[in-house]
Amino acid sequence: MAKAGRASGGQRPLLEARNIVKTIGTGAGELQILKGVSMDLVPGELTLLMGPSGSGKTTLLSILGCILTATSGELHLAGHQAVGLSSEALAEIRRLHVGFVFQSYNLFPTLTAVENVLVALDVRDARSADPIQTATEALKAVGLGHRINT
């Protein structure tokens, strides 16, 4: 199984995973991908997830990010216990509390960077009085000020 490492210590966890098990298939075809993973994610810390190909990193990240649900275990995230929730309830947690930076990013290619951020604000129902300004500031904050209209 992949190992999660921590860069520094201190605060209360934002996310607590306990004994996360993920099994797919049934009977002779059953495969246990995660065999009881426990870990915390703490605000302000950098956590690295490392392991050989096929060790379950993507599966674990998908469960921690509420894309998949675990077969058993507990996942405490933003005041919710996420294991066993419906896909609608998981989508609500993702919408409000989770951000992904995908290796192959899932942007709308025909929209500009600002327009892509505006879509995300709409999904969160978080358009401000000046949404373009909000989106522009968000892009500048992550060093993408030069890509705003591309």
Ligand X SMILES: Nc1ncnc2c1ncn2[C@@H]1O[C@H](COP(=O)(O)OP(=O)(O)OP(=O)(O)O)[C@@H](O)[C@H]1O
Site residues for Mg ion per CB under 5 A: 57-58
Q: Which does 24 bind (CB under 5 to 8 A by kind): ligand X, Mg ion, none?
A: ligand X
Question: Smallest distance, Å, CB 25 to ligand X?
Answer: 7
Select the residue whose beta carbon is closest to Mg ion and give its number: 58
19 vs 134, beta carbon nearer ligand X: 19
**Nearest to Mg ion of 58, 116 (CB atom):** 58
CB of 143 to ligand X, least distance (A): 27
User: Quick one: what does residue 134 bind among Mg ion, ligand X, none, with the CB cut-off 5 to 8 Å set by partner type?
Assistant: none
Strands 80-81 and 31-41: unpaired
15 vs 22 by CB, closer to ligand X: 22
Positions touching ligand X (CB under 6 A) are 2, 24, 31, 33, 51, 53-59
Measured from the CB of residue 22, what is the shortest distance to ligand X in angstroms?
Answer: 8
Secondary structure of the chain in the HEC alphabet?
A: CCEEEECCCCCCCCEEEEEEEEEECCHHHCEEEEEEEEEEECCCCCEEEECCCCCCHHHHHHHHCCCCCCCEEEEEECCEECCCCCHHHHHHHHHHHCCCCCCCCCCCCCCCHHHHHHHHHHHCCCCCCCHHHHHHHHHHHCCCHHHCCC
Residue with tokens 């990193």, as numbered in its chain: 57
- Considering the complex, state which of residue 41 and residue 118 has its C-beta at the smaller distance from ligand X: 41
Shortest distance, position 150 Cβ to Mg ion, whole Å: 29
